[in-house]
Structure 1
Amino acid sequence: MILRRVARPLLATIFVTGGINALRQAEGHAKAAEPFLNSAFDKVGDKVPEQVPRDPVTLVRIDAAVKIGAGLAFAAGKAPRLAAGLLLGSLVPTTLAAHSFWTIKDPQEKQKQQIQFFKNASVAGGLLLAVSDTHGKPSAAWRAKHAAKDVTRDVSNAAGKLSRKGQKRANKLAKRAQKALPN
């Protein structure tokens, strides 16, 4: 559909350009994200595996790579639902780290960050739609539910046929047995 071919690249643009910018200025982005990351690791650090890097610069670079890779895949229509999910997963912590307007005292800066926060919330809404977009085809959940109903029906029919055959066989044996018995 033409709408998807136009909408996906438009939605992906902010992620690809943002990812490139984050790679070019990883240290600056890491410095901005560090308070959020420290707070997050303080709260859930014991539940995060040791293999997960805690260095802000490394995390910014990983996030940038996800944004670029998933953004390009989404724009090209390659695994668009997965790509949209990855972009959404990248957008949430980025938004919380960069646009936490509720912590800002200066009214002008607070308003700027609030606008950016709600812009990102709007983009998240678009990504949620993209995650659920099945191109008009039934979703995996719908197909699984109906496949289960089909299997249940088929098993029930097969069981009914078997029991009818079994009943016919039993009736034949009963008639033979009656004929064999003396009157």
Structure 2
Amino acid sequence: MTVILRRVARPLLATIFVTGGINALRQAEGHAKAAEPFLNGAFEKFGDVVPEQVPRDPVTLVRIDAAVKIGAGLALASGKAPRLAAGLLLGSLVPTTLATHSFWTLQDPGERQQQQVQFFKNASLAGGLLLAVADTHGKPSAAWRARNAAKDVGHTAEKLGRKAEKRARKRAKKLAKRANKALPN
């Protein structure tokens, strides 16, 4: 049942990102104009910690974001590295939402309400992506497997230590017997 659910839910969740990414590529300049105030503010506040290799041009950033949405959306839809794909989509969704749906800055009640609806729609998508990021297909998480492997290594090391100690005692007894035989009475 859950396998079928994943095969249906992932493509449904990914659809909005793939179509949104295609739309952003087709209309990169318009999207860049909408995102520019947010990007300028972000670079003013955090520009000193952003590596120089990161482009500052809004059109380029919109195109990169669109490519991430399309690539990660297709990966999520097809089930290829779905947790990573969902994480990339989440990382793309947060700044996009803040840049384009900051309803709290608007004065017009109608526009404010429309952007609030879009903001909470994106928040809902973020919830779905968080579930996809955490979905381990019923298998233990990487953290659990790492803890378990560490315990196994610890137990193995303990067993090896006991065996080595036992061998060392046996060897010491043999050497003591030889030494006693070699000593004159």
The TM-score by the shorter chain falls in which range?
over 0.9
Displacement of 1:182 in angstroms is 4.2
Shift of 1:180: 3.6
Q: Secondary structure at the match of 1:34?
A: helix
Q: After superposition, what is the alpha-carbon deviation per residue over 1:11-41, rounded to whole angstroms, capped at 9, x for unaligned?
A: 0000011011111111111110000000000
CA distance in 1, matches of 2:32, 2:176: 85
1:145 to 140, 144, 147: 147
What's the TM-score, normalizing by structure 1? 0.96
Identity of aligned residues (%): 81
Equivalent-residue separation in structure 2 for 1:159 and 1:24 (angstroms): 65
RMSD across aligned C-alpha pairs, in angstroms? 1.0
Partner of 1:76: 78
Stretches of structure 1 that go unaligned for 5 or more consecutive residues are: none
CA distance, structure 2, for counterparts of residue 96 and residue 131 of structure 1 = 21
User: Which secondary structure does the structure 2 equivalent of 1:47 belong to?
Assistant: coil
- Residue of structure 1 in register with 2:122 after alignment: 120
Give the counterpart letter for 2:73 in structure 1.
G
Once the two structures are superposed, residues 147-181 of structure 1 have per-residue CA deviations (whole angstroms, 9 ceiling, x without a partner) of 11111111111011011011011112222333344
Matched, 1:86 2:88: yes
Tell me, yes or no, if structure 1 residue 17 matches structure 2 residue 34.
no
Count of matched residue pairs: 183
What residue in structure 2 maps to residue 101 of structure 1?
Answer: 103
- TM-score, structure 2 normalization: 0.95
Q: Distance in 2 between matches of 1:59 and 1:172?
A: 75
- In the other structure, the counterpart of 1:3 is 5
Which of 152, 155, 163 is the aligned partner of 1:161? 163
Structure 1 runs of 4+ off > 3 angstroms?
A: 179-183
For 2:59 and 2:184, the matched residues in 1 are separated by 97
Q: What is the CA distance between 1:139 and its match in structure 2? A: 1.3
Instruction: State the Cα distance separating 1:117 from its structure 2 match.
Output: 0.6
Rounded to whole Å, the distance in 2 between the matches of 1:49 and 1:169 is: 61
